[in-house]
Structure 1
């Protein structure tokens, strides 16, 4: 079945994908690269590494593989340091032609210091099994709904990158976050661009702590969520 996904440029020059199914952007229109770096790499990955000095392994779980941008940025950051075992859940994977179109839409002037072959390897990696992308980054892509995910590993860090509550409200409920709370390691962290009041109240009800942080371009705030 044709997905009708299409590639468009965002405010920082990096591409995003518009979902044909949901008519929603995979990334912020103000800047896909800026958002991913700010929310997931800086506030998530680097914060976790700096807060857990000497950690040798991180089990990282991503809700929403999408374009693969977060996985790619993480892999580039992890050429040394702790080993990352990165599991990403995606119900509607891009086709190979869509992934190719996304990578080819990255402007040449924004590719300096970035390994596009690594990005291609991430998209070409098999699903449902771990693949060594580099010695410090092991990727497992799982084709399933968030609701059908079963936890085989205890996540230390979670990138929660689903479509927003206005598009897929069912992905921001206790049904998703109760098993995640139970599975998450003590002092484990979730990062998300969403700061909606109903979402924060649900997190508090389940026992999470959370803090608002300055958001990426075009968004005032983001959320870092902690399991005490």
Structure 2
């Protein structure tokens, strides 16, 4: 009977299996480190905007508060982006006729929102409520970095699950609230840890969705 496999068949099979394992592990490792890289989370990468906006000029130079443009930050899930009407409060008179500001006038005339390009990437399977974090005294710079010093806005940190969980665990450890409700986090502890206050943080209560007794490390706090 003719031999189906040669003398080296077993050796080749073992080498092939080993190669498949090595490739699989390599792909997994590449994916693991890729999703934890700055480039994946757009850290330090400024995106082109329909209207050039210099945060440093407006924040440090003109002393504007974050909440003036991001009106939803203190009470809503999304912080919101400035509308044309918001910008034209000043720019209907200041720098009027400058080509770079033409999208503001077009947006106002057509009643359409300005197509700002977000510099923060956040996964769809997680949720973040700006209002609840502001109410707890978390400074904007904790997640966004020192935006007020940026001439071109970019992401400052990787908003991974590790980043969020570490912050939640630190908050509970420092307030002695481990395992207790989300609402058990006094703003003063956050302010002391982060070193700077958030606008309108004092006297605010978390939204109803964060007053149901869940622990800060409960999966459902961040995941639907």
TM-score range, shorter chain: under 0.3
Higher strand share: 1
When Rg is computed on C-alpha atoms for both structures, the one with the higher figure is 2
Q: Which has the higher contact order (CA 8 A, sep 6+)?
A: 2
Higher helix share: 2
